[in-house]
Amino acid sequence: MAEMENPTRPGILKRVTTFFSPHATLFTILWILAFSSVFFWRQNVVDRFLVSRSPEKWPDNPEFRPFVFNLVDFGGVGDGVSLNTEAFERGVFAISKLAEKGGGQLNVPAGKWLTAPFNLTSHMTLFLAENAVILGIDDEKYWPLMPPLPSYGYGREHPGPRYGSLIHGQNLRDVVITGHNGTINGQGQSWWIKYRRKLLNYTRGPLVQIMWSSGILISNITLRDSPFWTLHLYDCKNITVRNMTILAPIYGAPNTDGIDPDSCEDMLIEDSYISVGDDAIAIKSGWDQYGISYGRPSKNIHIRNLVVRSMVSAGISIGSEMSGGVSNVTVENVLFWNSRRAVRIKTAAGRGGYVQDICYRNLTFKDVRVGIVIKTDYNEHPNGEYDPKAVPVLRDISYTSIHGEGVRVPVRIQGSEDIPVRNITFQDMSVGITYMKKHIFQCAYVQGRVIGSVYPAPCKNLDLYDENEQLVEKSTSQNVSDIDYSF
Ligand SMILES: *[C@@H]1O[C@H](CO)[C@@H](O)[C@H](O)[C@H]1NC(C)=O
Ligand SMILES: *[C@@H]1O[C@H](CO)[C@@H](O)[C@H](O)[C@H]1NC(C)=O
Ligand SMILES: *[C@@H]1O[C@H](CO)[C@@H](O)[C@H](O)[C@H]1NC(C)=O
Ligand SMILES: *[C@@H]1O[C@H](CO)[C@@H](O)[C@H](O)[C@H]1NC(C)=O
Ligand SMILES: *[C@@H]1O[C@H](CO)[C@@H](O)[C@H](O)[C@H]1NC(C)=O
Ligand SMILES: *[C@@H]1O[C@H](CO)[C@@H](O)[C@H](O)[C@H]1NC(C)=O
Ligand SMILES: *[C@@H]1O[C@H](CO)[C@@H](O)[C@H](O)[C@H]1NC(C)=O
Ligand SMILES: *[C@@H]1O[C@H](CO)[C@@H](O)[C@H](O)[C@H]1NC(C)=O
Ligand SMILES: *[C@@H]1O[C@H](CO)[C@@H](O)[C@H](O)[C@H]1NC(C)=O
Ligand SMILES: *[C@@H]1O[C@H](CO)[C@@H](O)[C@H](O)[C@H]1NC(C)=O
């Protein structure tokens, strides 16, 4: 593809990118005949050309930007073997010159596009066509190291630097990753094995990580088999994640969280399916002393209309790294199936920060071991220098319209003397349990209330109110512990 026009000239680019539109077909044929025969990838290009004439198989890619490019224009080869890092980098570089003109779109056509990590730019749309697969190279030599995240101090798994992400962005504005359900595949299998065998010297990299950025839209694609967390948004604002499929094996894929909003604000996650080897979603804001001094909360986060599964951890988590604080989170219309836990807030002394103003509404649990969890002794620390007196505040958390079946322990809220849980509300809850046993609505150091009737019967720690929110009975045993991990 060395003969391709200099990709920084917009006029020519516009022409090149109409490559597959009907009126350019003749031009296309001549072009392909003239240039392709000497290249080993010729068959691939001809296949693509033939496919392009069948609209059902390759629907037109919508154009979101004034300038639209194809990865092939930059030398990309979608054979699953050739390395396309430079093609991606050249595409991104061309788009980086177009910021003033509304930015550019990089189309990734059907094919398997192996690449090492690369960076995005502002005012960019990465569009993955149907059957387009971006494959992350699984040899760590190709993965650049980056400094630890400031709010973690550590690489999370190892001290010092960490691997960057396959698709990365820093200090960006207006970035869209979308498509006709193309896939970004991290080929995490070899990373998970190396991690388990302790062959890695640095923390594994996420699949997609965007830092210090705003105006992010990620939609209509599939993310799978990330080496580590799948989609990590770090200290970002104004983010929409919509209509996504996020997959990793439910066992044996360590730390493959689906989405990690980390010190982020104004974020919407909706209409997606997530089934992974760790938390489907984990809202975070930094770790112990590092997170406290970075001091950036996660707030104004709306999560709705999801189906999630997590056999190892939880469907939707807050924490355990929450030292910058987490507030104003709404989680609604979510089905949790075949999971170890549904919703979990996890923290520990040393974290500092707060989790407050959290609203869960219309959650359905289907075959879930433990439904609602708050855990205050999640003692995983970056080092011994955390301040055990930095205790998190947990308060103003409501659970409304919680239903389901096949649940072993519907509620396990374990506050402690140092970290009591305050102002919890339960309303309209009926969860079918797998076996009758006392103490399945477990509480310790919890203050709050139950409005109306809930099933199964609530713990004695909570005040009882009637349907009209009139006090019926005040609890005298808020701090009694009824926690039982034996089932
Ligand atoms: C992406 O940009 C960051 C920040 O400039 C840099 O540290 C990193 O090495 C870049 N990654 C790649 C793959 O170029
Ligand atoms: C979701 O994305 C798929 C492609 O991944 C598309 O076919 C479907 O129409 C989208 N649905 C919505 C509601 O956007
Ligand atoms: C997108 O692809 C994934 C994985 O191949 C599939 O599970 C999902 O159903 C597809 N989504 C749509 C809307 O076609
Ligand atoms: C990890 O470090 C050891 C000792 O320095 C070295 O032999 C090994 O190659 C390194 N492994 C990786 C994956 O970088
Ligand atoms: C949020 O980002 C979108 C682009 O994804 C942009 O259209 C919108 O104007 C931004 N909203 C605010 C309030 O900045
Ligand atoms: C996602 O797909 C739906 C249905 O095809 C479409 O309406 C929507 O605009 C797409 N979103 C993006 C950002 O491409
Ligand atoms: C809470 O977050 C929502 C977005 O989920 C936002 O619309 C609302 O303004 C926020 N409330 C406050 C008090 O900031
Ligand atoms: C509750 O959530 C389910 C999806 O889990 C949805 O189908 C249903 O419409 C929601 N109910 C209400 C009242 O919003
Ligand atoms: C208790 O929490 C609810 C939200 O769940 C909030 O509306 C209310 O103001 C809180 N009450 C107190 C006394 O803080
Ligand atoms: C329960 O413990 C908390 C702190 O651990 C304390 O503030 C509160 O007064 C105690 N409540 C009762 C009823 O003893």
186-238: pLDDT as tens digits? 999 999 999 999 999 999 999 999 999 999 999 999 999 999 999 999 999 99
SS (H, E, C) 45-111: HHHHHHHHCCCCCCCCCCCCCCEEEEHHHHCCCCEEEEECHHHHHHHHHHHHCCHHHCCEEEEECCE
Q: Compute the average pLDDT of residues 248-274.
A: 98
**190 CB within 6 A, ligand 4:** no
Residue 439's pLDDT is what? 83
Which ligand minimizes its atom distance to the CA of 461? 10
DSSP three-state, residue 166? coil
CATH hierarchy code of domain 67-161+193-203+269-473: 2.160.20.10
Å from CA of 267 to ligand 7 middle: 10
Query: Is the per-residue pLDDT at 97 higher than 50?
Result: yes
Type of residue numbered 119: N
How far, in Å, is the centroid of ligand 8 from the Cα of 165? 35
Ligand 6 centroid from CA 181, angstroms: 10
In this structure, which amino acid lies at residue 436? M
**Ligand 10 centre distance from Cα of residue 372 (Å):** 22
CA-CA-CA-CA torsion sign (235, 330, 307, 449): positive
Radius of gyration of the chain from its Cα atoms, rounded to whole angstroms: 25
Mean pLDDT of all residues belonging to the chain = 90
Q: Which residue has the higher pLDDT, 58 or 474?
A: 474
Domain boundaries, the chain: 67-161+193-203+269-473
Q: Is the CB of 481 within 6 Å of ligand 3?
A: no
Return the pLDDT at 59. 55
Q: What is the structure's pLDDT at 436? A: 73
Distance 41 CA to ligand 10 centre (A): 71
- Residues 158-164: what's their mean pLDDT? 93
pLDDT at 13 over 60: no
Atom of ligand 6 nearest to the CA of 176: 13
Q: Parallel, antiparallel, or unpaired for β 111-115 and 132-136?
A: parallel
Residues contacting 350, CB < 8 A, separation 6+: 288, 289, 379, 381, 386, 387, 388, 390
Q: Which of 10-14, 225-229, 242-246, 353-357 has the lowest mean pLDDT?
A: 10-14
Categorize the per-residue pLDDT at 155 as very low, low, confident or very high, splitting at 50, 70 and 90. Answer: confident
Whether 181 is in the pocket of ligand 3, judged by its Cβ within 6 Å, is: yes
Catalytic residue among 225, 278, 396, 482: 278
Tokens of 460: 């004695």
- The ligand 10 site (C-beta within 6 Å) comprises 417, 420, 445, 478-479
pLDDT in tens, 342-351: 999 999 999 9
Neighbours of 42 (CB within 10 A): 13
Positive or negative: CA dihedral 361, 262, 128, 315: negative
**Paired tokens of 24:** 């350019």
What contacts 427, CB < 8 A, 6 or more positions away? 398, 399, 400, 401, 450, 451, 452, 454
Mutate to test the pocket of ligand 6, among 128, 178, 218, 239 (most ligand atoms within 8 A of CB): 178
Give me the sign of the Cα torsion angle 35, 41, 43, 45.
Answer: negative
Name the residue with higher pLDDT: 310 or 44.
310
- Judge whether residue 12 has pLDDT over 90: no
Give the pLDDT score at 154: 80
Is 278 an annotated catalytic residue? yes
Question: Which of the four pLDDT bands, split at 50, 70 and 90, describes residue 304?
Answer: very high
